[in-house]
Amino acid sequence: MAATFVYQSGQSLRHFPCPDSMPGIPQRTRTPMIETRYASALLISSLLLSGCASLPASNTSGEHLPLIVAHRGGTADFPENTLLAINNALRNNVDMLWLTVQLSRDQIPVLYRPADLSANTNGSGAVAEKTLAQLQQLNAGWQFKQDAANGQVLFPYREHPVTLPSLQQALAAVPANITIILDMKALPADTQAKAVAQVLERNQAWNRVLIYSTDASYQQAFAQYPKARLFESRDQTRDRLASVALAHNCQPAPQMGSWVAFEYQRKVELVETFTLGEARSAVNAKLWTPQAIDCFQSRGKVNILTIGVNSEEDYRAAACLNVDAVLVDSPRTMQGVKQRLEWPLRCD
């Protein structure tokens, strides 16, 4: 009987055998593998690794508060990937900005995430079908909505248009001491990477930028640019997290100084196949555990960013895990959360 761990995105994780211990982490850094407060990880392990004994829960203590990274400039506060969102994120004292990049028809990197312009703007079609001039005629805040106190849904930026910016404009608007993470969203990767590299080179901005993508082809696309700083590929990060959670095994850790990113919690589907068919179980998995952190740090300091941290409970948990940064949708809300936390943290 084989079991497969399948993400909703369609990406699958291998089924791992149950070992007696977790190789790959020096003995002095190993901690008990399953913590009772991580119910999702326990459920996954119990489903896949029947017969593996769970160990007592361990305590952690936060050593610092994670940096606040504004997701698309703060997609919950203002129209995403716009200068309006960026400027307000900076007013809320974010530490880093996460911006999404695609290319216009005339090969200009612009800030936009969805596949179709109709998702956020009053236009339609792909970004790559329009020139920069045409894109900047659109209202990037057209679909942004807010709920009024009386329950009415408002579209405040339909009467106050917001421009879809270029990467060049974003770099000019962001102080040099604020790191920008560029999330590359379009293919082919080589073409996208070349255009972004030209902008970064022209602005001498390589040291201000980190490159991220869910598509592994960007690793090779940016490899020809020695100044490029990339996150580890998502595939490698996911495989290592799964290996720790499901096999109690630490695959070789990233190089010291690397950046890695993955969701703090993610809906996954467990698929078990057998002769008469298959069975599925939905799980809200929390793969960042103390054991996962130990694994990632086993070769030296690695910078860990957890995606989708949008509540006080999750921010506190991320701090107790000693992650370096969290990706948030509302900088306005999460800065308030950060300021309210008592220090030192109690992570029992």
Convert the pLDDT of each residue in 227-247 to its tens digit.
999 999 999 999 999 999 989
Contacts of 117 (CB under 8 A, 6+ apart): 123, 124, 125, 126, 127, 130, 135, 138
Q: Is the peptide bond before 175 cis (omega within 30 degrees of 0)?
A: no
Q: What is the pLDDT of residues 186-229, one digit of tens each?
A: 999 999 999 999 999 999 999 999 999 999 999 999 999 999 99
Least confident of 34-43, 74-83, 192-201: 34-43
**Sign (positive or negative) of CA dihedral 12, 305, 185, 138:** positive
Rounded to an integer, what distance in angstroms lies between the CA atom of residue 42 and that of residue 320? 19
User: Cα angle at 176 between 174 and 181, to 5 degrees?
Assistant: 65
CA 288 vs CA 13, 80, 195, 269: distances in Å: 16, 27, 34, 17
Question: What is the β-pairing status of strands 259-263 and 266-274?
Answer: unpaired
Is the pLDDT at 128 greater than 90? The verdict is yes
State which fold the 67-221 domain adopts: TIM Barrel (3.20.20)
- Given a contact cutoff of 8 angstroms between Cβ atoms, the answer to whether 15 and 246 are in contact is yes
Relative orientation angle of helices 234-247 and 39-48, to the nearest 10 degrees: 70
pLDDT of residue 25: 53
Q: Please name the residue that has the structure tokens 């490899």.
A: 223
Calculate the average pLDDT of the chain: 86
Read off φ and ψ for residue 344, nearest 5 degrees: -75, 155
Tell me the two tokens of residue 86.
Answer: 């960026």
Q: Where are the domains of the chain?
A: 2-60+236-253+262-301, 67-221
Q: What share of the chain is helix, strand, coil (3-state, %, to 5)?
A: 30, 20, 50
Is the pLDDT at 10 greater than 60? The verdict is no
CA 193 vs CA 28, 104, 230, 237, 262: distances in Å: 41, 13, 12, 22, 22
Nearest to 33 by CA among 213, 316, 198, 248: 248
Amino acid, single-letter form, for residue 49? L
Q: What percent of the chain has pLDDT over 70?
A: 82
Helix (H, G, I), strand (E, B) or coil at 147: strand
Nearest to 68 by CA among 320, 262, 306, 345: 306
Rounded to an integer, what distance in angstroms lies between the CA atom of residue 136 and that of residue 168? 13
Calculate mean pLDDT across residues 47-76: 66
pLDDT band, very low/low/confident/very high, at 344 (cuts 50, 70, 90)? confident
pTM: 0.83
Burial degree of 128 (CB within 10 A; 0-12, 13-18, 19+): middle
Calculate mean pLDDT across residues 29-55: 39
Contacts of 34 (CB under 8 A, 6+ apart): 41, 42, 45, 54, 55, 57, 289
- Given a contact cutoff of 8 angstroms between Cβ atoms, the answer to whether 139 and 121 are in contact is yes
pLDDT of residue 22: 53
Burial degree of 158 (CB within 10 A; 0-12, 13-18, 19+): middle
Is the pLDDT at 60 greater than 80? The verdict is no
pLDDT band, very low/low/confident/very high, at 269 (cuts 50, 70, 90)? confident
Calculate mean pLDDT across residues 133-159: 96
pLDDT band, very low/low/confident/very high, at 51 (cuts 50, 70, 90)? very low
The helix or strand, by DSSP H or E, that contains position 138, with its residue range, turns out to be none
pLDDT of residue 235: 95
Furthest CA-CA distance within the chain: 63
212 DSSP β-pair partners: 183
pLDDT of residue 343: 79
Higher pLDDT, 45 or 142: 142
Higher pLDDT, 61 or 294: 294
pLDDT of residue 24: 55
Tell me the two tokens of residue 107.
Answer: 């090969």
